[in-house]
Copies of this chain bind each other. A is one copy, B any other.
């Protein structure tokens, strides 16, 4: 694909023959026919008999308006592929136009290959119609069930980011991406045109955006549909594109004009790529885009009941309603369907005739069968180094005595992954790679940037492959596109701002949930999300930077897809991340702060701890584990910052109230808390009892909102005994900074809680409580005066006696990490 196309080829592309147009037009009519059929018909699929009310579905669903434009573009792209052998996928921004794309894949045979019950005959056409937006059938959007799709078009805004993600490191691929003028109004979409500033023509493929202006959305015109065309052209030129415009509704004129536009755009793309690949990158190229203006509901009923429909918002969904009841509407529908001349398009059996089929590319060149859009099929396993090389070496007796930034170790690990996987792994992060201490990746790869650079810039070049732009929507969406086309990566964000793109996280999880039920969808690399700069370390930044909402949002999604990890230290983080990179079809959420933090577990201990997902840290408690007796109190923790407080609280009890027996439990895989019937990672009842006993009260120091633990332990024995101290929203004016007294979850409060909740009265407990309260009061005064923590908090170190990690819980409890 490296050579520039010949002028003759481009000329031929730009000037279709009459035969070409005849084939494309037939294919288009067939697609439109099948689109209307999906919306309206439940029998008589090929109109072999006069249409009656009985043939009409009881409930009319679907979106006609955008559909004819989508299929018009599709058949032209197919012609381009046939003539050039271009590798191309079709990203359908106006995904509501599902029936058009389903029809396209059906006409390309892919649908029948994928779903053999939808045969290529009259019976199959009927099934195709009946399953649309129907029980046991398919949704009305281009979705996971649609072969060739990597974009669900229900939640609008992500077509371009998915397109860009798909072509990074895919030099031969073009993602033809249709953006509807509805979607074009969304913030995420408007923010995604700048993808070209991060697209390197030497190494990456291309996105060809087609802004499809049909002028209206559900009930009114679109902004861009009514904007002065000169302004609109300027807007996209301003974004850096070469704008090619096509308008009209005349046939065959539109075929000729659009073919020429597409040929021009394609030749331009190929020239940019050839130049870059022959001579290297020289500045930001001006990539082509097409603005296509065609009527909404093009070829549909022009007028209904004296009101114009075609070309207006009225064509958005079902342009003819009450068809069963209204004979006039029924007549319009029949005329409309027959206007496509189905008898010319389908043979006696009901299969598409040759004239139609001629418009199709063949094999994997069909956009619905392009392997890139079923990423597991083109998947290159990640070469994953041993994380041990990047883990922290220390003796068990050194635990809790020194601090390290855990995410820095992850950065070093990822640098090696970059080194070993120079074309199939990327880190995506809204400008915070260094801030999140992942900067070691820059030893291997710069940040990508196609705009001019100067000598004050650091680690920034077109050849870089670390993706930074101050947009969660872009970085998250790019990774989704990258994953769905079979490549690996990680999205890293400040914890609070993970909420900006959480709707994408959810929609992607839903995509995977749906995908795992489809045999033909090959498993794709997991979406790995690292949330750093967490709520507990952002008091100086104020409330906007404090929010553990992503965790509580995704924990409600399906357990076979979504996993939540709260590593307490560097070695656990590495084991968790390493495992996450190995998995497929998951959303792995890892929450860990970037600040220096105490290190608890040696590599071996970390490995074991993560396999189990939770464990008793006997070195942090003071009970005799060989005894049959339950401890007086359990202090549990999940999350790095709160783990320090929990260990420190247990230490206060060990040292100052040794007669009270305390057990410390750390949970690294959060969902092990759930019952096995509620989550596949849930620990067994026996393991739960061995870990948390059946009746000892549990003071739980939790990273996120307390309700998350409450909902996870629901149904566990005597769940009320779980007293959770988690993140609670408070005003910043009353809170300290960079310390953990916030939300009363600190060590002193935990000790007070432990004493208060202990079922027996421990001698000396009241004194210790009083001392803790004094410490808290002292702390309040000290920090305001000295602008830092009390020395005994600041200089705290772990002081232990024993050094064994958990004895409770076994690796066959619940679902082990690597099972």
Contacts and interface: CB of A to CB of B under 8 A. Distances in A.
Interface residues of A, number: 143
A53 interface: no
Of A191, A237, A312, A517, the most chain B CB neighbours within 10 A belong to A191
Given A456-B308, A456-B312, A541 B189 contact: no
B732 A138 contact: yes
A470 B155 contact: no
A719 interface: yes
A460 B722 CA distance: 56
Nearest to A192: B187
Contact of A133 (B237, B471, B540, B714): B540
A57 B558 contact: no
A198 to B, nearest CB: 9
B540 A496 contact: no
Nearest to A734: B517
A507 interface: yes
Interface stretch (A70-78, A357-365, A383-391, A543-551): A543-551
A470 B451 CA distance: 31
A473 to B, nearest CB: 4
A776 to B, nearest CB: 13
A460 B220 contact: yes
A381 interface: no
A450 to B, nearest CB: 9
A192 B191 CA distance: 10
A541 B190 contact: no
State the oligomeric state as a number of copies.
2
Nearest to A452: B226
A124 interface: no
Interface string A111-153: 0000000000000000000100111111111010100000011
Interface in A450-495: 451-454, 456-460, 468-474
B226 A231 contact: no
Interface stretch (A3-11, A14-22, A244-252, A781-789): A781-789
Contact of A553 (B231, B312, B468, B552): B552
Contacts of A732: 138-139, 143, 145, 514
A496 B557 CA distance: 14
A239 interface: yes
Interface in A65-88: none
A708 interface: yes
Given A220-B447, A220-B460, A471 B728 contact: no
Interface in A167-209: 182-183, 185-192, 194, 197
Interface string A52-66: 000001110100000
A316 B291 CA distance: 39
A458 B307 CA distance: 12
A658 interface: no
A433 interface: yes
B543 A510 contact: yes
Nearest to A283: B228
Contacts of A218: 431-432, 434-435
Contacts of A42: 787
A232 B238 contact: yes
Interface string A517-559: 1100000000000000000000111111101010011011110
B733 A517 contact: yes
Contacts of A419: none
B556 A185 contact: no
A234 B238 contact: yes
Given A143-B543, A227-B240, 8 more contacts: A130-B787, A133-B540, A139-B542, A183-B470, A187-B190, A236-B238, A497-B503, A552-B556
Interface of A: 42, 57-59, 61, 95, 130, 133-141, 143, 145, 152-157, 182-183, 185-192, 194, 197, 217-223, 226-227, 231-240, 308, 311-314, 431-435, 447, 449, 451-454, 456-460, 468-474, 496-497, 499-500, 502-503, 506-507, 509-511, 513-514, 516-518, 539-545, 547, 549, 552-553, 555-558, 705-708, 710-712, 714-715, 719-720, 722, 728-739, 783-784, 786-788
28 contacts: A57-B787, A133-B737, A134-B737, A135-B737, A156-B470, A186-B470, A187-B188, A187-B192, A220-B458, A221-B449, A231-B239, A234-B235, A235-B238, A308-B456, A499-B503, A506-B549, A510-B544, A511-B543, A513-B543, A517-B733, A549-B556, A552-B552, A556-B705, A556-B707, A710-B711, A710-B714, A711-B711, A714-B722
| Closest CB pairs A-B (n = 9) | A154-B544, A139-B542, A235-B238, A187-B191, A707-B711, A234-B238, A710-B714, A135-B736, A226-B451
